[in-house]
Structure 1
Amino acid sequence: MSTDLGARALHLLQTVFGYPAFRGHQAEIVEHVAAGGDALVLMPTGGGKSLCYQIPALLRDGVAVVVSPLIALMQDQVDALAEVGVRAAFLNSTQTFDEALRIERQVRTGDIDIVYVAPERLMTQRCLDLFEDARISLFAIDEAHCVSQWGHDFRPEYIRLSILHERFPQVPRIALTATADQLTRDEIAHRLQLTEARQFVSSFDRPNIRYQIVEKTNGRKQLLDFVTTEHAGDSGIVYCLSRKKVEETAEFLVENGIKALPYHAGMEHAQRAANQARFLREDNIVMVATIAFGMGIDKPDVRFVCHLDLPKSIEGYYQETGRAGRDGLPASAWMAYGLQDVVLQRRMIDESEADEAFKRVLSSKLDAMLGLCETLSCRRMRLLDYFGEKSGPCGNCDTCLVPPVSFDGTVPVQKLLSTIYRVDQRFAAGHVIDVLRGAPSERISQWHHDTLSVYGIGSERSEQEWRAILRQAIALGLVTVDHENFSSLKLTEAARPVLKGEKKVQLRQYQKPVKQKRQTASPRGYAEIELSKSEQEIFDKLRWWRVETARAHGVPAYVVFQDATLREIAKVKPGSLDELRGVSGVGEKKLASYGDEIVALIAEMA
């Protein structure tokens, strides 16, 4: 690898993108790809993946082709590059024939540096012929986990991308993703014919994100308490499983004074696109969405991501929570989780049309997700361990900040298992818990379950406590739910040694939900730029200036400058263009475009 290549790469990073130094594996990746090597890159959201192909694109001769499934976001990606002086364009179905023709001419003549295409567009004969006629510098395959049939976001059109290796063997390829366990990683390499590519795996840790999972009682009310207490006035995303729940939750938040918008695949395309545009371009909006929303969302100042329903896998959870705090400032990942979530996810697997092998994979992924929810140890340790990364307690998740109480739950679990057995494994959770607690009901009398020896043996515990114990018993694989038989609870083989007293069970102690209190612990290894009163006034003025400037340019505010850059400007208070030049995120093009205005604004407030 030439030293000259590294020096040129660093020069571009500083002068074009305005960053003083590469982070993590970025420098190695950039040099490797710029020198013509293939790469598979795993880097957490917010880790700077796009620079890993954007800088090689500028270092190599020709046009870089970025394959992305995100047609709705291509315009913003191109706008962001234009702001720093990079010639970029996209080819997708939103363009007129004449617009596409103009971009195709630019690709052929090399008048642009980067072109974004969707995989479906790339596979057309017209597009492949175009790239064969042009000088292509590299292919970047973004969101590469979409190629994995075992992954959480499979896109069939991605499988055909192996054609790039066959038709363009001399062009380097870089595949990038934020989320892939070893199984998914191997599949990406195999399907994209990148088995010989160099792999770069960064730490999956996002130390600025605080993870918190609470017992679900009244999910919407708990969500409202969390947002108003912890994140009033912040941008955030709330994920729900169903379209109906998205609509109802957005409406509930609006009724309670929060600027919330819905987003799901059942909405009219124009309305969905308008809501996404508002979320990207305005501050302080909460997007309530199904998982149809979010991949590739580049908004750096999302301060929280909430889940009102249990995600299907840790990959999905990590991908979704990773949309918070891309700017490196403190952010929250909050989830409300209850027994019904476990039952619903199990039912969705049982009722899916997948074959048995695939159902087993889905079940193991759900088990890992349940393990994260029920863990007695640090959540971040559990999360990172899933991706094969060892770490110590983080000090910035709920189980570190308020350690859960564990207890020997063998006897209560035996009571639960015995009750399920005594009612012939034919009844759902509510009925079983009523029998346990000795709660009188017409149904219990009708089945004579008030005469059973187990009737009332759990009267010392509340319904919520028993629901927590049952949820953990299901998560531990002692109990299963028969969805073909009215959601009746059944014992598994693993329940036998527990019933016989041959195996002990450790459980989390049920905690009554408490009103949210603002936490003050700082993430380990992270120091937020604290602003004085005068600096905060400058920061607020800069944000107001940014909103007006972004509106005038027709781009999202963060494309002009990110909050982290504005905070640093407020701290430095540059009195000249030279002083502003040293601020992270201020490249030469932005210095030329906005430098005089910012220096004048600082001078006004001096």
Structure 2
Amino acid sequence: MIQTPLESLKKIFGYDAFRLHQQEIVDGLIRGEDAFVLMPTGGGKSLCYQLPALHRPGVGIVVSPLISLMKDQVDSLKAYGVKAAFYNSSLSGTEARKVLARLHGGKLDLIYIAPERLMSREFLERLNDIPIALFAIDEAHCISQWGHDFRPEYRQLGRLRGLFPEIPLIALTATAEAHTRRDILERLGLRQARSYISGFDRPNIRYTVLEKRKPFAQLTTFLQPRYKGTGIVYCLSRQRVEKVAGALTEAGFQAAPYHAGLPAGARKQVQEDFLRDDIRIIVATVAFGMGIDKSNIRWVVHYDIPKNIESYYQETGRAGRDGLPAEALLLFGYGDISLARGLIENSKNPERRRIELHKLNAMVGYAEALSCRRRILLGYFGESLAEDCGNCDICLNPPRLVDVTEDSRKALSCVYRVGQRFGMGHVIDVLRGSQKERVLELHHDRLSTYGIGRNRSQEYWGSLLHHLVHNGFLEQDVGNYSVLKLTDAARPLLRGEQTLSMAEPRVKTETASLTHRRKGGQKARDEYPDDSAALFERLRTLRKKLADMAGVPPYIIFSDASLAQMAAFLPADPEAFQQIHGVGAHKTARYGPDFLEEIRRFIDSSVEKKKNRTQGLPG
């Protein structure tokens, strides 16, 4: 009999140890405590509620935003031998009744459900007769006005804490800056919940930003050496999705479009084909991908700039969920900013419009920056990096640094002189000696900093102010119209006790530079070792065959990371096979014989080839 969550982790899910915070979260939920969890995509959020649901009496109720996500999670749990089901509008009447019968019969460990269905009067009454292990709110940023999804149906979930005061509740997300986190806790009534924040860094993802010139040529240049991998191309409009998908198909790539304007059946078929590796490339609006658990996505391209860093972070995070090297390419054009701004300004809600415009400006700052991408990305979420990452375009191809100490002091002084009550635009107007009516009305033309930066362009001062924000000398108060305020770190710089450098603005790297090499001449990290690459491909072919027979996506059976370990370590028996990362007892019994036989054949074939070469025979 399984005694501890750690034993469950190994026996059921095939993992030897917990990741950061996982054991604390699991143990707390088992004790009946609430929790708020912020973990990066691929960081192991699902296990934080799946394991406690197996160790507490009753059924774990998981609130999930999308039907596709529910199916994905349930298929994965079933592959591990866990009793799971979803209850949503995709089920026929007969199927729905069977799920409810299993629920009332105590035959489910976990059930996935949409928020509006869970909070219906009928389903809430049903729960009065059912032992409940816990409530898990996945993609919890959807509940927040500061989040980027603004899902009204999620707002209803705030009633759960009052309706079921004794049942532990966990809220989970991969993307939430400080305002969003506070909003989630307040709206869900999680005032006593402990927060677990394990960081946002995804070191296996390489971030690259290119100035948009001939975008389709840039895209195909990027894709050609990566034709074996699967990936997503995000576009801002349906029209562009169709155009790019059609052009990729004509160019010989396995690509298909996905957007909300397509018939539901067509969207479902495209998604299924992608999940099962029958299509390599999805070209999509943001309608695609939220919560998709496909672990072997190797790259994500943003053909247009996203509307905010949260979306960018979440969408790039769909690559490399298995921990293997992945890439994120952003094609950045100023015309896209106007398109994104136009979409935002269509909103009739002035508060939402203000928040989203601020977030767009932060996204533009990220794209324009010439310092380590990862530092900026993590800094937006309130996390610092001790040193540059070494795995982004700026780190791999560093720009020339220029001393900006004097100009930084001018900018910081101007922020101070205007009372730390204005945003970037107004500060730049004062620095450059603008005659705008608002500057004159406020008498800011009389300040000592008025016009001291007129020899520099607006773009230069914008880059410098973003640089000061990214490096912690200034902060933008999102909750107060994005005004700039000095931090304690600004004092040494203002007093002349510190110097500061910034990357010199430059023309973005040409498309040929997309295939980077690591520092020190190392081979690109997305290359598998030569001696295991052939076996990896054979195991991937076997996985696809077994997945098609079972009617599930290939990654449900094993992740690319598991296959890579098999190819590297060559397990020869079930005991050794179960030591592979992500291989539990149920998967060893179900899939072990086929994979062990394939590995044995490969070894025998390799031995035979080596013998023939030694004897000078062909083959």
- Counterpart in the other structure of 1:520: 517
Which of 110, 131, 138 aligns to 1:142? It is 138
Aligned to 1:595: 592
Q: Distance in 2 between matches of 1:529 and 1:232?
A: 13
Aligned equivalent of 2:83:
87
Residue in 1 aligned with 2:354?
360
Shift of 1:532: 4.6
Find the partner of 2:580 among 583, 586, 600.
Answer: 583
Counterpart in the other structure of 1:184: 180
CA distance in 1 between counterparts of 2:569 and 2:313 reads 35
AA partner of residue 261 (structure 1): A
Say if 2:143 is the partner of 1:151.
Answer: no
Alignment partner of 2:117 out of 110, 121, 144: 121
Q: Tell me if structure 2 keeps the 8 A contact 1:139–1:174.
A: yes
- How far apart, in 1, do the equivalents of 2:526 and 2:304 lie? 34
Distance 1:322 1:98 in 2: 37
Could you say which residue in structure 1 is the equivalent of 2:379?
385
Q: 1:245 aligns with which of 224, 236, 240?
A: 240
Question: Offset at 1:75?
Answer: 2.1
Q: Secondary structure at the match of 1:228?
A: helix
The structural deviation recorded for 1:338 is 1.4
Matched, 1:541 2:538: yes
Aligned in 2, Cα 1:471/1:263: closer, same or farther, shift over 3 Å?
farther
Query: Structure 1's 378 and 474: CA in aligned 2 closer, same or farther, altered over 3 A?
Result: closer
Name the amino acid aligned to 2:100: E
- Tell me if 1:326 matches 2:313: no
What per-residue deviation string (whole Å, max 9, x for no partner) do you get for residues 273-297 of structure 1? 1001111111661110001111101
Correspondence for 2:307: 312
Aligned counterpart, 2:169: 173
Matching of residue 551 in structure 1 with residue 548 in structure 2: yes
Deviation at 1:88, TM superposition (A): 0.3
Query: RMSD of the alignment, in Å?
Result: 3.1
Alpha-carbon distance in structure 1 between the residues aligned to 2:110 and 2:304: 39
2:118 alignment partner AA: L
Q: Match for 2:288 among 286, 293, 296?
A: 293
Quick check: 1:576–1:599 contact (8 Å CA) kept in 2? yes
The answer as to 2:357 corresponding to 1:336 is no
Equivalent residue of 2:353, what SS? helix
| 1:209 aligned partner, one-letter code | I
- State the partner residue of 2:492: none
**1:482 match:** none
Are the aligned partners of 1:304 and 1:332 in contact in 2 as well (CA < 8 Å)?
yes
In the TM superposition, residue 248 of structure 1 has moved relative to its aligned partner by 0.2
Instruction: Note if contact 2:289-2:318 (Cα within 8 Å) is conserved in structure 1.
Output: yes
Higher mean alpha-carbon deviation, 506-515 vs 309-318, is at 506-515
Take 1:71 and 1:369, find their aligned partners in 2: how far apart are those partners? 30
Letter in 1 for 2:517: T
Distance (whole Å) between structure 2 residues aligned to residue 472 and residue 219 of structure 1 = 25
Amino acid at match of 1:598: F
Q: How many residues align?
A: 528
The alignment partner of 1:293 has SS state of: coil
**Residue 308 to residue 472, structure 1, CA distance change in 2 (3 Å):** farther
Partner in structure 2 of residue 348 of structure 1: 343
- Counterpart of 2:205? 209
Q: Secondary structure at the match of 1:515?
A: helix
1:272 aligns with 2:267: yes
Q: Which segment drifts farther, 241-250 or 509-518?
A: 509-518
Residues 76-118 of structure 1 deviation map (CA, whole Å, 9 limit, x = unaligned): 2211111110000111011122221221121112111000000
CA distance in 2, matches of 1:92, 1:206: 32
Indicate how the Cα distance of structure 1 residues 234 and 527 shifts in structure 2: closer, same or farther if over 3 A, else same.
closer
Normalization by structure 2: what TM-score?
0.80
Instruction: State the distance in 1 between where 2:502 and 2:574 align.
Output: 65
- Cα 1:605–1:351 change in 2 (3 A) is closer
- Map of 1:572 onto structure 2: 569
Letter in 2 for 1:266: G
Match of 1:34 among 27, 30, 34: 30
- Deviating more after overlay: 139-148 vs 95-104: 95-104
Distance 1:505 1:20, change over 3 A: closer
**Residue in structure 1 matched with residue 364 of structure 2 by the alignment:** 370
Q: Using a 3 Å threshold, how does the CA distance of structure 1 residues 328 and 267 change in structure 2: closer, same or farther?
A: same
Alignment of 1:605 onto 2:611: no
Whole-angstrom distance in 1 between the partners of 2:509 and 2:528: 37
Corresponding residue SS for 1:535 = helix
Amino acid at match of 1:597: D
Identity among equivalent positions (%) equals 47
User: Displacement of 1:354 after TM fit?
Assistant: 2.1
Q: Deviation digits for residues 288-314 of structure 1, max 9, x if unmatched?
A: 000111110101111111111111111
1:440 is aligned to none
Task: Give 1:361-440 correspondences, 5 Å limit.
Answer: 361-391=355-385, 392-405=387-400
Displacement of 1:343 in angstroms is 2.6
Q: What is the CA distance between 1:509 and its match in structure 2? A: 2.0
Q: Compute the displacement of 1:232 (Å).
A: 2.2
Cα 1:534–1:346 change in 2 (3 A) is closer
